[in-house]
Amino acid sequence: MYESDRPHEACGIVAAYGVPSVANLIQAGLFSLQHRGQEGAGIVVSDGRSIRSHKGLGLVNDVFLPGRLAELPGHLGIGHVRYSTTGSDRIQNVQPLVAECVDGIWAIAHNGNLVNAQALRRMYQEAGAIFQTGTDSEVLIHLLADPMYRNRPRRVARALMELNGAFAFVLMTSTSIMAARDPYGFKPLSIGKLGEGWMIASETCALNQLGAEYLRDVQPGELVVINEHGLQSSRFMDLDKKRMAQCVFEHVYFARPDSLVFGQNVHNVRMKLGMRLAEEHPVEADVVISVPDSGNSAALGFSQRSGIHLDYGFMRNHYVGRTFIMPKADARARSVDMKLAVIADVVRGKRVVVVDDSIIRGTTSQRRVSALRAAGAREIHLRISCPPTTHPCFFGIDFATREELVAADRSIEQIRQVTGADSVGYLSIEGLLSPFPDAANYCTACFSGDYRVDISAVQGKDDLEQVAPMLKFDP
């Protein structure tokens, strides 16, 4: 069975305040972030009094059919597109999550993974709490409802301080929206201004397409509250530059090229990675091609630095979608072969450099090489714009075991044999970090094994879905 080589990401989140027809705005924002999650989508809105929500499995345009948004009136709201890195693909796990507490209704949406979610969940279950989902995100609802936090100042900040791992949250009450990032800064989250209103989004591409002015990022350890009084900022944890862990895979693969992520334009970063890749792994060849779409910018950089002609070697079928983000292996397998077609006239009889962003499992790269051989390519040289992925990620990328990673226990020559290429060249860690003036602030754990967060309490994707053994008690 073939699976995509792509890493699996988590989610995209959007929030807005003080705008008319907020549901339409959030839907458009989610559509801009569809690349971050195709499994489910949801929107929660408020008119200042009543909260309404709608969510479902599938793409944004499948969930929000014509007429549905008219049923969601309001001027503030939050939205979410999901890929499940914890919890299965059932409707209960689609976000935003909505819960009624003693003092009102809360809604939350989350991008990332909480490494201490299982311990928090068990603590509340032993105290009698009932969980409705299999996601790690739900523990924040229980923290907010806990009298220990509910009856004290800085309630949300105190609850956030209990969480460990990667998170970008947007939260909502009937009258306000909130946004927060973990103190390590794993996940991006940006603030924009739209007329007299406000927007929050995982990537600036969502702000740009809606005409919002990008102001700044939510800072690591910061809690932002937006309500009728405007925007207020406070810290729930002090920023420690030595503990920063911004996810470098956002630049390598996840984010859209037109987004500004961690202060850097994604397209420009990928161009620089491709240039550095050409310096580190030169090769005599006739043509450079990319694996679209995330390999395009790096291939352009490789071509410019090497002087080798760039051309279209693969044609992408945009109606298949991102196979990496399909939650089931069989669905990914069915889609892999339909996703890209070789343009034979471009590669026939030529020495071809194929620039891709990553190799995770190796099976899809193998199929790409085979397709190029069948189309008549004389030589095939894989060039990868990141280092070998040798360690699991526990912070929102769905490869949590070394067994899944083709580079975990193989040499470069063995990877070359697995893929069937004539040569394989990976970018070094130093080369990967070279575009960033703040390189020490980036997480490279999946390449280096250097985890800046304690991972001893991590759980597998479906661990929170496990069914408890049958209860035995005396009536």
Q: Got the DSSP string for 235-277?
A: ESS---GGG--EETHIIIIIS-TT-EETTEEHHHHHHHHHHHH
The backbone region for 166, taken as left when phi is positive above 0, alpha when psi lies in -120 to 50, beta otherwise, is beta
pLDDT digits (tens, 9 = 90+) for 249-267: 999 999 999 999 999 999 9
User: Which of the residue ranges 172-186, 214-228, 453-467 would you say has the lowest mean pLDDT?
Assistant: 453-467
Given this model, what pLDDT does residue 325 score?
A: 46
- Partners of 261 in the β-ladder: 264
Residue 211's closest CA among 12, 11, 19?
19
- Where does CATH 3.40.50.2020 sit in the chain? 265-437
- Where does CATH 3.60.20.10 sit in the chain? 11-254
As a whole number, the mean pLDDT across the chain is 90
CATH says 11-254 is which class? Answer: alpha beta
Burial of 153 (0-12, 13-18, 19+ CB in 10 A): exposed
Q: How many CA atoms lie within 13 A of 465 on its CB side?
A: 13
Looking at residues 125-144, what average pLDDT do you find? Answer: 93
Given this model, what pLDDT does residue 90 score?
A: 76
- CA angle centred on 216, ends 215 and 220, rounded to 5°: 155
Cα dist from 453 to 33, 256, 446, whole Å: 27, 27, 13
Residue 273's closest CA among 351, 356, 354?
356
360 vs 322: CA distance, rounded Å: 15
Burial of 174 (0-12, 13-18, 19+ CB in 10 A): middle
Which pTM does this prediction carry? 0.90
Written as one letter, the residue type at 242 is K
Q: List CB contacts of 212: < 8 A, sequence separation 6 or more.
A: 192, 193, 194, 199
Which of the pair, 379 or 459, is modelled with greater confidence?
Answer: 379
Q: How many CA atoms lie within 13 A of 49 on its CB side?
A: 1
Sign of the Cα torsion 99, 100, 101, 105 reads: positive
- Judged against a pLDDT cut of 90, whether residue 84 lies above it is answered with no
Q: What token pair was written down for 135?
A: 């996601």
8 A C-beta contact, residue 82 and residue 93: yes
- Judged against a pLDDT cut of 90, whether residue 235 lies above it is answered with yes
Q: List CB contacts of 389: < 8 A, sequence separation 6 or more.
A: 7, 358, 359, 360, 399, 405, 407, 408, 446, 447
Written as one letter, the residue type at 330 is D
Residue 354's closest CA among 325, 320, 377, 335?
377
Parallel/antiparallel/unpaired status of strands 190-194 and 197-201: antiparallel
pLDDT digits (tens, 9 = 90+) for 264-293: 999 999 999 999 999 999 999 999 999 999
Q: Got the DSSP string for 1-70?
A: ----SS----EEEEEEES-SSHHHHHHHHHHHTGGG--SEEEEEEESSS-EEEEEEES-HHHHS-TTSGG
Residue 167's closest CA among 154, 148, 180?
180
The alpha-helical segments, DSSP class H, found in 68-146 are 117-126, 138-145
- Judged against a pLDDT cut of 60, whether residue 469 lies above it is answered with no
Active site residue ranges: 11
Residue 32's closest CA among 62, 5, 73, 61?
61
Q: How many helices (H) and strands (E) does the chain have?
A: 16, 23
52 vs 158: CA distance, rounded Å: 27
- Judged against a pLDDT cut of 60, whether residue 451 lies above it is answered with yes
8 A C-beta contact, residue 314 and residue 346: no
pLDDT digits (tens, 9 = 90+) for 14-50: 999 999 999 999 999 999 999 999 999 999 999 999 9
Given this model, what pLDDT does residue 335 score?
A: 57
CB atoms within 10 A of CB 294: 24
Written as one letter, the residue type at 421 is A
Q: Can you say how many angstroms the Cα of residue 19 is from the centroid of all Cα atoms in its chain?
A: 26
Given this model, what pLDDT does residue 458 score?
A: 67
Given this model, what pLDDT does residue 336 score?
A: 61
- The architecture of the domain spanning 265-437 is 3-Layer(aba) Sandwich (3.40)
